[in-house]
Structure 1
């Protein structure tokens, strides 16, 4: 229901009939095939900004035409279309196809978050990306404008050689030595995980990760038939001492970690914990996926070098990218790993999308080679630090009796612990109704019922103030 069709309130055609015609077109054109669940009356009334009775009239006409029907416990569904009314041959049962797909659907709350993020009026207090005003749009335009030559063709399987050479130099500053053949360009870190799941692992494998974890908010491994198992964290990061036992109990195949500015907690794994984790995984022969997409977003002091900088055996697949620093729309990330692994993953990537955007690869290579990226990082760190400080000040003033929180040294996130006995589901719904979008902790750990992932990176300064103050009031209202 996100299309741009709107009611014409200046015509003599009744509103309910306009809505009837609009919904009818969606059915007869096949956009809503037989079996599709119609949005609830309340949602339709809100979308079209009409009284609920107007929706009831429109749906009544569709029912009279035989196009929709109500089912107890299932709501209103499309029962027929004009073709199926005129012929004995039934249309394809697309709903059964949808339910049969191998890839798991997002959990309901993630679908609601994704839908709400398309509304420009929503105050987004959980979104994990830079605000539009922080993105270097004009400088990107200048790079393309001044380019001597641009390629619109496919790049080689591992990605642009020039970009991989620039990445090789760039990650050397992080203590990682990797030549271009051991680097592969991907369309964001999520694609890296997708390729690993289908290219290196078998069904029934178990993936270890910190709990809570970003991995629980996507279904990349689960849809490939694998299991996720959370390992507890403390303020130093993942607790490594139980990994050996868990590997033997659960057929552990691989460990995924965000050691630097962890999503969602913002924790930075300490240097000694990094050493312990790497040594434990070496002993247990467990490969590691290190996700370092937030690693450049430190404030006063750089974090410890990545785990990959200590890797002397090719044990770690290292994921980096530009979505969190330069722009999510570029869709450029990379995997660093042993050449046979990179060869395997690049072969699969060529079978799925024939390479990441050549224009985006060109832009990122220019940013890395020109020094613009380091200049940009300095600006972004300063902006994010200002936003973090503002957010902490608001929390100190309005949330001190409601919750506790960490003070991150970089990244986007504050992991807020609510000390009141309230329903996260009710909090999410009530906040959303008032135009405030939050990310509840159960997105990242299904058993978590008292945390929020707050982000200070996307909402404007004014929105942060307004949204957080009202959120504190809502928590207080729900707890009283």
Structure 2
């Protein structure tokens, strides 16, 4: 975001007025569009509100903007009395369309992180730079060069699919072939392709409660009806799946069984067998999203459902985002070949396939001597950060937070006692310099929070929790 130059001889208000006028001329703010309030713009630019008041006054005097009581400030439709041309009603277009925006809390979190780079980030569900194999990947990039930079097979770079066959067999006990693997731009694209290509508007699907899937408007955008499967300390129950099938004829089950996001639980071994039995009996597909399993702190990841699937009920999704580098945007899906062909065809219509460069890097990283040591270091560092977080919470909020200690993953799922208003707590935390994700984003009731300990540096965790604790006490009064 543009910021005024405080070292410039030009007054701040004039810089702001010039920037807004420039953005209006570029069409970023068409005639009639709403401008930020004086208070909000002042916060974004980190200036006094009076500076923005002066900037807006300057623009009003030029006839560029107009303000009305109760309606805020808008770009003038009649600049200098000229008859306006027929500008498209972009507001109507933005409000239209079938693809829904992200939940309000997630948009607020993104906005806050963009505006203030000093926030201690317990919200972003990805590895920090200190946990990613940055040096190793840079070494791979420096030593290798691809002569081909054109479109590749929409199913994915063949050497990467070959590397994944070996990886899935060694690390996940899944035996497959490269023709049954689809490379995607992370797990989220896999989910998007499934909802768009294998399901129909009006179909009923089951998701965990709480669930990361609940935070993804792509399900509602696809016109799907969502029904919840309660998650307890052993995960979901097969009888709940059976009940939803009988009542609502669900077409598919979406599950994150290993160190589930956001609760950190993993599905009990016996319940895994029962779930597969029910799926087999009903002919019901299961989508298994498995991004966290290799983070198991003891080095013994729980088995995926796919490794126990003998009849092909499970569509298995994985990615590099939670174990290596989210910026590579490399994920994969293991599915029957007919499903892979269908989704690869749809994917080709979308983007002609993922860039070959990150796929080549991912393939070489999987095949390199760097991969296993990286996993061992990742587990050790995540365990260290988890323990720092728990110790800080127990010190700062011994009677106000309840949680179950996770054995893998990146998140701690916390219940606030007594219940607190999500919005007030988030805004107070942002004001004090720390950010998290309210539990209601995942379909939970108010009073839960997800604290991610993989993104902040280790030295930020204790002061970050101190800020969070001060925010919580301020809101509770």
Q: How high is the TM-score relative to the length of structure 1?
A: 0.95
Aligned counterpart, 2:109: 113
Aligned counterpart, 1:56: 53
Paired residues of 1:7 and 1:48 also in contact (CA < 8 A):
no
Change in CA separation of 1:348 and 1:72 when aligned onto 2, cut-off 3 Å:
farther
Aligned counterpart, 2:90: 94
Structure-2 separation of matches of 1:349 and 1:217: 23
Over the aligned positions, Cα root-mean-square deviation in angstroms equals 1.8
More divergent stretch after superposition (99-108 vs 258-267): 99-108
Paired residues of 1:27 and 1:81 also in contact (CA < 8 A):
no
SS of 1:275's equivalent? helix
Aligned counterpart, 1:242: 240
Structure-2 separation of matches of 1:466 and 1:150: 48
Question: Where in structure 1 are there 5+ consecutive unaligned residues?
Answer: none
Aligned counterpart, 2:375: 377
Shift of 1:113: 1.0
Equivalent in 360, 363, 371 of residue 362 of structure 1: 360
Structure-1 separation of matches of 2:78 and 2:111: 27
| Number of corresponding residues | 475
Is 1:162 the counterpart of 2:159 in the alignment? yes
Structure-2 separation of matches of 1:257 and 1:176: 17
Equivalent in 426, 429, 441 of residue 428 of structure 1: 426
Question: Where in structure 2 are there 5+ consecutive unaligned residues?
Answer: none
State the Cα deviation string for residues 217-236 of structure 1 (Å, max 9, x = none): 12112111112221101100
Structure-2 separation of matches of 1:122 and 1:89: 43
Task: Please list, as runs of the form range in 1=range in 2, the aligned pairs for 1:222-371 lying within 5 A after superposition.
Answer: 222-371=220-369
State the Cα deviation string for residues 65-117 of structure 1 (Å, max 9, x = none): 343334565533333375x9644432111111111121101121111111223
Change in CA separation of 1:167 and 1:329 when aligned onto 2, cut-off 3 Å:
same
SS of 2:361's equivalent? helix
Equivalent in 433, 436, 443 of residue 438 of structure 1: 436
Aligned counterpart, 1:455: 452
Paired residues of 1:419 and 1:450 also in contact (CA < 8 A):
yes
Structure-2 separation of matches of 1:293 and 1:49: 38
Aligned counterpart, 1:193: 191
Structure-1 separation of matches of 2:78 and 2:126: 42
SS of 2:333's equivalent? strand
SS of 1:237's equivalent? coil
Shift of 1:452: 0.5
SS of 2:359's equivalent? helix
Structure-1 separation of matches of 2:90 and 2:198: 32
Paired residues of 2:291 and 2:318 also in contact (CA < 8 A):
yes
Paired residues of 2:154 and 2:354 also in contact (CA < 8 A):
no
Runs of 4 or more off by more than 4 Å in structure 1? 71-74
Change in CA separation of 1:21 and 1:167 when aligned onto 2, cut-off 3 Å:
same
More divergent stretch after superposition (92-101 vs 67-76): 67-76
Aligned counterpart, 1:407: 405
Change in CA separation of 1:402 and 1:139 when aligned onto 2, cut-off 3 Å:
same
Equivalent in 193, 196, 206 of residue 208 of structure 1: 206
